[in-house]
């Protein structure tokens, strides 16, 4: 019989999730001269690209250009896209096993990490994940409401997502008018009465996760003055020692920017962004209507753990902040997938270099993971490229070693029939190209990169019409 992975008998791969990790897996598979692969990509939403569309901030359009790379994989003659098909709902892992030699899950991290403090679930306390998905037009989050009529808001966290949220809250209507933010979010932000945004970091400025360009950008916003309390930006001995050990020029540059922020005096811009370090929320207090009206924070100090990692612990200095809206941005968290093992603590599918392993029963043959569901919600888009390459290496090692199950129905048409029986309206890549053109066309007269469709029905109706 012809060898598996050759033109006579191509390797059939299902990729679940069309974010950066899924597309990088497809790119790596198609990039191998010694492999003939047929790839079907499944996506729960009608639109591809995961967090590039629904996470990356609308005022950072250039970053979204990475989709041009993904277009190349999508243009491969042996690539098929099945949007609007959710694995676990329309098809199961067993269904996929019947049609493919290998299945790679790249489903990202679909929910948020919690603070686990009293008052967290009061009204006006929201996961940043929801706010981001709302302003970026994710269909499942369009009914969310955020009360922007208050004056003071706290953004808990100092990672890149927290910075995005703080920056979007500070943007002026003119700035937002050039983006692809949804009309509803834009209108709400135009009416916003927020005057002060507090960003709160648990550890010190030396450990802040945001990047230098992002820090710099905060200091250049036309609509908001930025300030850091000088006390918060002073480098403690533990961080100074860590910095000296790592000889980190990037952190040094970031500290320089933050120290300069500490010297600034308000110039009368409509909003003020205050970045605070070494503080953690310990309780949210509410009014009679159950809405947040305050946050109790504790001052932290840093210490080095057994392995020399810089950690924070609370002191006895407590402070009350009169904030009325809270965005919690302390990390994303993966969700379990039916039929796959799951590590609740880290929110990932347990794996060894991308091979899914069941801690109770050893390797799960033919099933792989890539991206955030594999390693947790860290890193930028590009990080997923090396991550996907590692997974593809594992897939090809298993192929070479004959550790590949034979699917009962490997014919691509059989998979297509099965999908259409379960989801009569899958969205193909051609359909997406039409939606994309429609969105870009709607944006043109307004000078925007695009005007997104924000409901699945709207997308499907437009596809019927076009
Ligand atoms: P995702 O991008 O989340 O893709 C997962 C996909 O799987 C989604 O499309 C989802 O709908 C789909 N899916 C989930 N479950 C199923 C299922 N059961 N069936 C079918 N499909 C499913 N990085 C940068 O480099 N620059 C930035 O400016 C930047 N900004 C960011 C802003 C935010 C708010 C966030 C959260 C992240 C940002 N990142 C940025 C990081 C970057 O987006 C991630 O590294 C990357 O998207 C992770 O890729 P992924 O493919 O693992 O997951």
The 3-state DSSP class for residue 321 equals: strand
Q: Does residue 361 have a pLDDT over 80? A: no
CA 353 from chain centre, in angstroms, equals: 21
At residue 305, the pLDDT reads: 87
Residue 169 neighbours by CB under 8 Å, 6+ apart: 148, 153, 155, 189, 192, 194, 197, 271
In percent, how much of the chain has pLDDT > 70?
Answer: 99
What is the mean predicted confidence (pLDDT) over 10-15? 98
Return the minimum-mean-pLDDT range out of 206-215, 246-255, 295-304, 397-406: 246-255
What is the mean predicted confidence (pLDDT) over 42-46? 98
Q: Does residue 123 have a pLDDT over 60? A: yes
Ligand 1 pocket mutation pick from 86, 107, 109 by most atoms within 8 angstroms of CB: 107
Q: Which residue has the higher pLDDT, 344 or 309?
A: 344
Q: Which residue has the higher pLDDT, 110 or 369?
A: 369
Closest CA to 236 of 279, 201, 203: 203
Ligand 1 centroid, distance to 50 Cα (angstroms): 5
At residue 240, the pLDDT reads: 79
Per residue, the 3-state secondary structure of 157-198, as one string, reads CCCHHHHHHHHHHHCCHHHHCCCCCCHHHHHHHHCCCCCEEE
Residue 119 neighbours by CB under 8 Å, 6+ apart: 125, 283, 284, 285, 286, 292
- Pairwise CA distance, residues 240 & 54, whole Å: 37
Tokens describing residue 4: 């598996």
Q: Could you tell me the pLDDT band of residue 247, with boundaries at 50, 70 and 90?
A: low
Average confidence score pLDDT of the chain: 95
Size (the chain), residues: 466
What is the mean predicted confidence (pLDDT) over 28-49? 97
Ligand 1 pocket mutation pick from 212, 381, 385 by most atoms within 8 angstroms of CB: 381
CA 67 from chain centre, in angstroms, equals: 15
Q: Which residue has the higher pLDDT, 444 or 305?
A: 444
Residue 191 neighbours by CB under 8 Å, 6+ apart: 148, 149
Q: Which residue has the tokens 């014919």?
A: 411
Ligand 1 centroid, distance to 452 Cα (angstroms): 18
- Residue whose CA lies nearest to ligand 1 atom number 42: 381
What is the mean predicted confidence (pLDDT) over 93-116? 95
Atom of ligand 1 nearest to the CA of 86: 19
At residue 252, the pLDDT reads: 83
Is there a contact between 201 and 275 (Cβ–Cβ < 8 Å)?
Answer: yes
- Residue whose CA lies nearest to ligand 1 atom number 39: 380
The DSSP output letter for 356 is E
At residue 466, the pLDDT reads: 65
What is the mean predicted confidence (pLDDT) over 193-202? 98
At residue 1, the pLDDT reads: 53
Taking only the tens place, the pLDDT of each residue in 321-354 is: 999 999 999 989 999 999 999 999 999 999 999 9
Q: Could you tell me the pLDDT band of residue 359, with boundaries at 50, 70 and 90?
A: confident
């Amino acid at each position: 019989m012809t060898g598996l992975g050759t033109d006579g008998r191509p390797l059939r791969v299902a990729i679940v999730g069309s974010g950066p990790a899924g597309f990088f897996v497809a790119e790596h598979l198609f990039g191998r001269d010694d492999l003939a692969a047929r790839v079907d990509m499944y996506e729960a939403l009608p639109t591809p690209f995961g967090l590039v569309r629904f996470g990356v901030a609308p005022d950072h359009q250039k970053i979204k250009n990475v989709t041009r790379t993904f277009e190349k994989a999508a243009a491969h003659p042996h690539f098929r896209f099945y949007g609007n098909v959710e694995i676990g709902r329309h098809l199961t892992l067993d269904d996929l096993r019947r049609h493919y030699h290998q299945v790679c899950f790249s489903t990202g991290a679909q929910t948020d990490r919690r603070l686990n403090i009293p008052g967290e679930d009061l009204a006006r306390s929201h996961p940043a994940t929801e706010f981001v998905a709302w302003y970026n037009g994710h269909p499942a989050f369009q009914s969310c409401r955020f009360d922007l009529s208050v004056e003071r808001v706290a953004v808990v966290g100092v990672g890149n997502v927290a910075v995005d949220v703080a920056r979007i809250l500070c943007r002026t209507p003119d700035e937002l008018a050039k983006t692809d933010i949804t009309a509803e979010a834009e209108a709400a932000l135009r009416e916003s009465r927020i005057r002060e945004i507090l960003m709160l970091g648990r550890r010190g400025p030396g450990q802040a996760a945001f990047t230098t360009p992002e820090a710099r950008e905060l200091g250049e916003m036309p609509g908001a003055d930025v300030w850091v309390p000088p006390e918060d930006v002073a480098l403690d001995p533990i961080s100074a020692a860590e910095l000296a050990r790592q000889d980190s020029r990037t952190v040094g540059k970031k500290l320089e920017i933050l120290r300069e922020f500490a010297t600034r005096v308000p110039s009368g811009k409509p909003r003020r962004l205050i970045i605070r370090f070494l503080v953690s929320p310990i309780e949210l207090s509410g009014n009679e209507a159950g809405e947040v009206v305050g946050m109790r924070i504790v001052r932290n100090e840093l210490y080095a753990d057994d392995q020399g990692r810089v950690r924070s612990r609370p002191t006895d200095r407590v402070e009350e902040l009169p904030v009325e809206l809270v965005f919690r941005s302390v990390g994303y968290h993966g969700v379990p997938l039916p039929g796959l093992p799951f590590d609740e603590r880290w929110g990932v599918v347990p794996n060894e270099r991308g091979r899914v392993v069941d801690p109770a029963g050893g390797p799960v043959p033919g099933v792989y993971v890539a991206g955030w569901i594999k390693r947790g919600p860290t890193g930028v888009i590009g990080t997923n490229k090396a991550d996907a390459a590692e997974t593809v290496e594992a897939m090809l090692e298993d192929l070479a070693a004959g550790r590949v199950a034979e699917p009962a129905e490997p014919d691509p048409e059989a998979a297509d029939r099965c999908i259409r029986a379960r989801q009569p309206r899958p969205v193909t890549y051609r359909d997406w190209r039409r939606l994309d053109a429609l969105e870009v066309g709607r944006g043109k007269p307004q000078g925007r990169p695009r005007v997104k469709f924000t409901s699945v029905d709207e997308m499907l109706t437009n596809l019927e019409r076009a």
